[in-house]
Amino acid sequence: MLLYLSSGHRGYSASEHGYQISTRRVWEFEAVVKGACGPILPDRKPELLRRRLWIFHPLCPHGWMDTPGTGCEVVVFHFSHVPEPLDMAVPDRGLLSVGIDTSTARRLVNMERQLRPHAGKSDAISALTTQRALLDLSLIVMKKAGPLPQIAPRVIAEKKVDTVLAWYSEHMIEMPSLERVSENAGVSSRQMRRYFRMVRNQSPARSFRQLRIQKAEELLSSSNLTADKVAGMCGFGSDSDFSRAFKAHHGESPTQWRRRNRRTYLPGN
């Protein structure tokens, strides 16, 4: 999904320290097509470059710097996800950058202009146009990056499963559907089922249920929360649904399990 796009002049160095470091939690493509600029990263000195395209992992903290007093011309795209080969090529919490020539710079500028009418729209034509642009951007990066290490299918599956489970753990209270989880992972529901079968030999639904039970165990053993409160925090539709699932897993009710496994609970600790 296209989340943002922009092009034009930037004056990153209007501030003494440039455009400050932040984590945007999106896949960010940024190309400098005129002038020079470079990302500010926590662990390295900014390097100002001309005609360059950067792509940032969603968890890569960065800011921007350009030549003081001159600014630069850039093209920017933000996406919720990218194709798997590019996902695997960009280091976790890192970035990948490639040099671009004049014709590619013009192509990126035109791509941004052509996408503007489709930004924020969900009709079929806009969706396909956005997908094509994302594929074009990904191909530009992958082709110019040169030979990249071959990644085994299982490695791809393991990374995707880890990402899905981490996201689900943070959102289980919302009881997200499989379709929503798949969308946030950037894969189809069918592909996600294949990944879980390959890595865990079980369905996504079963893995999610195990996460909910594990969270419930943690809350039951270390808090004074009632069973119905625990049920809601762990993504169960009702206290009865929670009790049935918990008893099917442990052979006893949440209350019985809590009596045997209760840790000393000290508020504030």
- 195-231 pLDDT per residue, tens: 999 999 999 999 999 999 999 999 998 888 998 999 9
Protein fold of 153-261: Arc Repressor Mutant, subunit A (1.10.10)
Q: Give the homologous superfamily in CATH for domain 2-144.
A: Regulatory protein AraC (2.60.120.280)
Question: pLDDT tens, 27-55?
Answer: 999 999 999 999 999 878 888 999 999 99
Question: Nearest CA to 80 among 190, 183, 191?
Answer: 183
Neighbouring-strand partners of residue 27: 79
Q: Is the pLDDT of residue 178 over 80?
A: yes
What is the C-alpha to C-alpha distance for residues 20 and 133, in angstroms, rounded to an integer? 28
**Closest alpha carbon to 210 in 261, 255, 259, 161:** 161
pLDDT per position as a tens digit, 57-89: 988 999 999 988 888 999 999 998 888 788 878
Q: What pLDDT is stored for residue 224 in this prediction?
A: 87
- Domain boundaries, given as residue ranges, for the chain: 2-144, 153-261
The pTM (predicted TM-score) of the whole model is 0.62
Rg of the chain over all Cα atoms, to the nearest angstrom: 23
Q: Does residue 106 surpass a pLDDT of 90? A: yes
Residue that is written with structure tokens 């005129």 in the block:
34
- Residue indicated by tokens 């119905």: 228
Residue among 5, 60, 68 at smallest CA distance from 37 = 68
Q: Which of 1-10, 170-179, 217-226, 256-265 is predicted least confidently?
A: 256-265
